[in-house]
Amino acid sequence: MKTIEWLGDRIKLLDQTELPLREIYLETADYKEVVSAIKQLKVRGAPAIGIAAAYGIALGAISIKVTDRESFLNELQTVFSDFAGSRPTAVNLFYAIKRQKQAIADKANATDIKQAMVDTAALINREEEKAMSDLSKAGADLLKDGFKVLTHCNTGQLATGTSYGTALGVIKAAAEQGKNIMVYVDETRPLLQGARLTTWELLQLKIPFKLITDNMAGHFLSRGQIDCVIVGADRIASNGDTANKIGTYPVAVLAHENHVPFYVAAPVSTIDSSIGSGDEIPIEERDPEEIFQIRGVRIAPQNISALNPAFDVTPNKYISAIVTQNGIIKKPYKRNIKSIFQEGH
């Protein structure tokens, strides 16, 4: 199974909206289809969005016909804007755009820029592969043999386009060390990334799990049935406040209330050092239709309204540690996140 594959002149994406019922791939050379795939969550999860966008920008560059540098860059700007408008919260998307823009600077002509876009996308892909592998192994030390671990949303190969993942990568690495881990999987309403995708990945990894609905987490936390919680992140502010899939924040509060450690696992590309706190993280509002139905079956009356924020922000005080490829960051986050950047980014 490959979440994202570059085929030289086109990209192949595993359509995650069809999982686990059907394994269907989207193959395209049209960058606009990649933008739509990101919007529709065919490709999703912060690091995977970043990698797909980087390759998508390369496709957009390749498709530009004009050759003089200025006109070429004008058209490329539209490609950048289309990707920037696809999903607002996952900072990895904006990190990919920034890296692609930096790659243009010293390139003299359209041919060289096109090549640079392809090379930079491949480089980001390789960097994220190593980051996820390193952070997974670093985080595995936090999980002891016999631990019962609660996770929210999907944070494995599907969400990262790499062989490990963030939170699920840590769980995978711990299992590879021979530890017995039992995973409690939040179903993750409204789009069921936990029920559809995390269970699918855990089955393949042969790691035991129990699927629970989101509103059951407090019950199990209060009865001492969970040893720790580990989740991914879509954007981490420089003070450690973390945006992740809607429903993460209540789990963090419940973990705190029940003295259960709450860990965030993310590559350094998910840290947005330009913002001071979670208040500045833009939260994506999605179509209320996603609330009215489950996989195409209407569950709510017609002509009602709903709210559908896709992410929430967990304040840093509820986070016991942040696992990155550059090490495990503890409080005080402001100072320790800064030093991670100075050392390794």
Would you say 118 or 197 has its CB closer to ligand MRU?
A: 197
Contacting residues for 344 by C-beta, under 8 A, at least 6 apart: 268, 325, 326
Catalytic residue among 82, 134, 214, 234: 234
Question: Where in the chain does DSSP place strands (E)?
Answer: 4-6, 11-14, 25-28, 148-151, 182-186, 209-212, 228-231, 235-237, 242-245, 262-265, 271-272, 293-294, 297-298, 311-314, 321-324, 327-329
Q: Is the CB of 73 or the CB of 211 nearer to ligand MRU? A: 211
Give me the residues that bind ligand MRU (CB under 6 A), please. Answer: 41, 44-47, 90, 153, 155, 159-160, 166, 193, 232-234, 244-245, 310
Instruction: Give me the least distance between CB of 197 and ligand MRU, in Å please.
Output: 8
Check if the beta carbon of residue 45 is closer than 8 Å to that of residue 154.
Answer: yes
Q: Would you call 234 a catalytic residue per the annotation?
A: yes
b/e burial code for range 25-35 (CB count within 10 A of at least 16 → b): ebebeebebbb
Phi-psi region of 41 (alpha: psi -120 to 50; beta: other; left: phi over 0): left
Count of other CB atoms within 10 angstroms of residue 206: 7
How is residue 13 written in tokens? 């994406």
Minimum CB separation from ligand MRU for residue 176, in Å?
A: 18
- Distance (Å, rounded) from C-alpha 276 to C-alpha 269? 16
Residue 233 Cβ, how far from ligand MRU at the closest point, in Å?
A: 5
Give bridge partners of residue 28 from the DSSP assignment: 11
What 3-state DSSP class applies to 145?
coil
Residue 212: count of CB within 10 angstroms of its CB: 17
Q: How far is the CB of 293 from ligand MRU (least distance, A)?
A: 17
Least distance to ligand MRU, CB of residue 265, Å? 8
Q: Which is nearer to ligand MRU, 160 or 238 (CB)?
A: 160
Closer residue to ligand MRU (CB): 86 or 193: 193
Of residues 3 and 320, the one with the C-beta less far from ligand MRU: 3
Q: What's the full length of the chain, in residues?
A: 345
Indicate the residue among 41 and 116 with the shorter CB distance to ligand MRU. Answer: 41
CB of 300 to ligand MRU, least distance (A): 21
Which residue type, as a one-letter code, is found at position 267? P
List the catalytic residues. 234
